[in-house]
Structure 1
Amino acid sequence: MAEVVVIGAGVGGLACAARLAAGGHRVTVYERSTVVGGKLGRLVVERPEGTYRFDTGPSLLTLPQVFDELFADLGGGAPELVPLDPVVRHVFPDGTVLDSSADPGVFLDRIDAAFGSDAAADWATLWRRAGRVWTASWRDILRRPLDSPAALAGLAWRFGDLAAVAPGMSLRGLGRRHLGDPRLRMLLDRYATYTGADPRRAPAALVAVPYAELSFGGWYLPGGLATLADALLSRCEALGVSVRTGAAVTRISAAGGRVNGVRVGSAFVPADVVVSNVDALTLYRDLLPAPRRLGRLADRSLAGFVVLLGLRGRTPGLAHHTVLFPTDYDAEFDAIFGAPARPAADPTVFVTVADDPLVRPEGHEAWFVLVNAPRHGIGPGAVDWDRPGLADAYADRVLSVLAARGFDVRDRVLFREVLTPASLERSAGAPGGAIYGTAGGLLRPANRGPVRGLFLVGGSAHPGGGLPMVALSAKIVAESVGPARQVGTR
């Protein structure tokens, strides 16, 4: 049995803690915040008309089989998952609406009806290629450690897999090669933002992201996705994990090339294994300084600007998830990734409205409104989101954009809450409010740290951001540590 310290009670930290405890280890989780969940946050607003519950982080769950396996391995049933159809409703600048579906045949029929048979044929060709990329990624990347560029290059891909992955091609380039309709290219570009990247620079291999979403579906948890953190906390407690909130780890201690504990406030806590569920930048800058590793983490992902709305009445024309595209998508990326960076004047707007009585009073709606945004900070690639008046002014702008695209709800707003990249930096310890840590790419910080006994889990480490990837990272780390009987023999 090893003494394991997990730093951070995000989904990755909780999932890894539970897996290690199930493997016979004694596990303690230290979380700087007073609540668990990390970026999978929530906000509860009590009003005279009733209670509103908002997810403030991820709003879509994919790859449900990952969570079925996780909870089966932990000896408990997975939370109830509700399939979404459409997975996402896309509203394009010309007013065309395309509802995505987890049934490939249905989706092709919808593309045919909206854009014509040539567009449907183009998507079918891209889909076959995306399937090859997904198969190679699932087999060779997403479920195993990937510690270096050499390991990535040495994977045993068949020639056809390499041709599908298209090293050196961007996701934008792949769309231009296969998709004649500019609206379908716009839809494909959006998936680069799932990894925090600019589609003009993101690798073509990210075509696996829409394949995963549209093959295995998009899912919702009644009461909101934050209930996933509640379920993981419950499994941790049942397995004997000690979860201590309001306890910030300030340093990782190592001697002789191996971790030996952490410092929590002024107290030293010995440990045989330390699992870091903080951003890799924070780990290597503050907790266990490693200057040589910091350079790889400089390319930060985009951030998000969120407006939470409590609305009177109900809104026709919206699905659970609706994306409203701008006329000039490139102008948005020029603003967000520019130097200087700036909030986009006419951004893509992502609206989540759950038809769930657990999250809103009868006759009302709880809206989660997200736009892509530059990270928080000072410098050419960032925006100081704490600048007085900026957040409220930009929230007004977002509501104006919604109005211009046919959803003017300003006279129905009962209250609003604004969350900026600076808010995420403070609440979840995400440097700059960057949602995914480093931006895009296949190679993220390795799960095994530079000293023995140190491991990285969560969205800033391999295999990347998003709830299923985070859960996969937890399995990779738990398998790398091994069950209790094997620790000490490695």
Structure 2
Amino acid sequence: MARIVVIGAGLGAMAAAARLAVAGHRVTVYEQGATYGGAVGRYARDGFAFDTGPGLLHLPAVYRDLFVKTGKEPLEECVALTQVDPAARHVFADGTRVDLPNASRAGTVAALDAALGAGAGERWGDFLTRAREAWDRTRRPLLEEPQPADPAPLAREPYPAPKAGLLRRPTRTLAQVGARELRDPRLAALLDAYAWSYGFDPAGAPASAAVLPYMEQTFGSWYVAGGLRALADAVYERCRKRRVEFVFDTPVVDVLEKDGRAVGVWLDGGREVAADHVVSGAPVPALYRDQVVEWERGEDWPRHQVLGTGRVTVCLALRGAREADAVHRTVVHAEGGGPAVTVLRPDDPALRPDAGHEAVTVTATVRTAPGQEWEAFADRMVEAAGRAVPGLRDRLLWRHVRTPEDVRRDTGAAEVPGPALAGAGGRLLPAANRSPLPGLYFAGGWSHPGGGLAHAGMSGALVAGLIVEGADFRGSQ
């Protein structure tokens, strides 16, 4: 039985902790804050409650696998999952609206043809076929296997060019895919919105980012009753049942190294904790910046994705009942391109004081910059949200603005990492789960396979596999 210290209580770190505890190891989690969940937070006031991190779950199979492998109760006995249908309503800058069904390619094609004109759905369907090729080429190495020692093959673009016509020349960016293959500014905006929602600017994102809409439209979008915070609650309780020990309000200030190997951690206050393995769920950039692990900027310095994109979240407490034909998620597209605003309106009694009120969450991607006027930015977000929520301004009781600095306080980094993407010369590959320092492993959104709830859960499975099976581990089955 090994002694394992886990730094941080985010979803990826807790997923690793639960799996390692089931394997017979003694696991202790040290969390700098007062609670677990990392970016999967909750803001509550006056009977209203809001998710302050992700609002929807994609690829729920990741957490189903976690619960199957760590206990008798399956995921659905611990949380209530429902498919969100329609998956999203898109409101384009010209006023056009389209409701896209959940996990139905034929339904999506029909909806796009009806809203945008004949041929629009076919072009989107052809695009999804090429996106599937990119998915099939990268799914195992990007999601289910440890990052290869030589990631050079993943630096090459896997998205295929159309096989006929003038478009056969290679496509380098997602924006080029929209302009050359979709040939409708609204379809291009639809594609761009998926990239922005994960923190990628379509103008610089590789064409392989096509896997993001493919993933959502193929595997669906799911809501957890009570909000995504309920998933964090369930994972935490699973850890506790497996006898994982949690120590809150206890920052780790250093990783102990002896004879070229991690052998424990220093806690704030000077206490030393010995360990056979250390799993860090802290943001990898913060780990480097704060010199918790001191590596020279050379071969071992991460050449991977070290910067994410900021998120602003506005929690809106509204008087008046949610209208009967309201949809769970609306994406309001900006004029002239740029990040869209996402409006989440879950029909969930647990999030509102009574049926005569509604809790609405509005999010947008933003590039963090010193001196940003967040309240003015939030004003623009609320104005855009008014296109999705009838009478929003007259119904508004109060709002709470959550900025990137709030994210930094809770998670250690103001940015939110995106998922790993192939292509782009390898710039969007996160840190490998096995760090350059033997005995130290990375779990969570800043490590392979990148950001997002599903990806964080995958990182926990990969770290547990590397520790339990060692060099023989070849990935999830």
Q: TM-score normalised to the size of structure 2? A: 0.89
Residue 365 of structure 2 corresponds to residue 358 of structure 1:
no
Partner of 1:336: none
Q: Deviations over 1:221-274 (max 9, x none)?
A: 100001111111111111110011111101111121110110111100001101
Task: Select the residue among 316, 340, 359 that pairs with 1:309.
Answer: 316
Partner of 1:188: 191
Whole-angstrom distance in 2 between the partners of 1:351 and 1:278:
29
Residue 371 of structure 2 corresponds to residue 384 of structure 1:
yes
Partner of 1:473: 459
Partner of 2:334: 326
- After TM superposition, the structure 1 = structure 2 runs for residues 333-372 of structure 1, keeping only pairs within 5 Å, are 348-361=340-353, 362-372=355-365
Q: What's the secondary structure of 2:151's corresponding residue?
A: helix
Partner of 2:281: 277
- Deviation, 1:302, is 1.6
1:171, 1:205 within 8 Å by CA — same for their partners in 2? yes
Give unpaired runs (5+ residues) of structure 2. Answer: 163-168, 422-426
Residue 90 of structure 2 corresponds to residue 82 of structure 1:
no
Counterparts in 2 of 1:106 and 1:480: CA distance versus 1, 3 Å? same
Task: Select the residue among 392, 397, 410 that pairs with 2:393.
Answer: 410
Partner of 1:14: 14
Whole-angstrom distance in 2 between the partners of 1:29 and 1:355:
35
Partner of 2:68: 72
Q: Deviations over 1:183-220 (max 9, x none)?
A: 11111112222432211111111111111111111000
- Deviation, 1:73, is 0.7
Q: What's the secondary structure of 1:163's corresponding residue?
A: coil
Q: What's the secondary structure of 2:349's corresponding residue?
A: coil
Whole-angstrom distance in 2 between the partners of 1:196 and 1:147:
25
- Deviation, 1:294, is 5.8
Task: Select the residue among 219, 233, 238 that pairs with 2:236.
Answer: 233
Give unpaired runs (5+ residues) of structure 1. Answer: 333-346, 376-381
1:62, 1:216 within 8 Å by CA — same for their partners in 2? yes
Partner of 2:33: 33
- Deviation, 1:164, is 6.1
| Fraction of identical pairs, as percent | 39
RMSD across aligned positions (CA): 2.6
Residue 293 of structure 2 corresponds to residue 300 of structure 1:
no
Instruction: Give the aligned length.
Output: 451
1:285, 1:294 within 8 Å by CA — same for their partners in 2? no
2:130, 2:160 within 8 Å by CA — same for their partners in 1? no
User: Which sits farther off after the overlay, 407-416 or 276-285?
Assistant: 407-416
Partner of 1:52: 48
Q: What's the secondary structure of 2:57's corresponding residue?
A: coil
Q: Deviations over 1:379-406 (max 9, x none)?
A: xxx2334xxxx33333233323334677
- Deviation, 1:298, is 7.6
Counterparts in 2 of 1:143 and 1:25: CA distance versus 1, 3 Å? same
Counterparts in 2 of 1:437 and 1:274: CA distance versus 1, 3 Å? farther
2:134, 2:208 within 8 Å by CA — same for their partners in 1? yes
2:378, 2:401 within 8 Å by CA — same for their partners in 1? yes
Counterparts in 2 of 1:108 and 1:210: CA distance versus 1, 3 Å? same
Q: Deviations over 1:271-321 (max 9, x none)?
A: 110111011111122211224266746862221111101100135464111
Whole-angstrom distance in 2 between the partners of 1:229 and 1:315:
27
- After TM superposition, the structure 1 = structure 2 runs for residues 92-131 of structure 1, keeping only pairs within 5 Å, are 92-101=92-101, 102-131=103-132
- Partner amino acid for 2:43? L
Residue 293 of structure 2 corresponds to residue 288 of structure 1:
yes
- Deviation, 1:437, is 6.6
Residue 444 of structure 2 corresponds to residue 444 of structure 1:
no
Residue 403 of structure 2 corresponds to residue 420 of structure 1:
yes
Q: What's the secondary structure of 1:38's corresponding residue?
A: coil
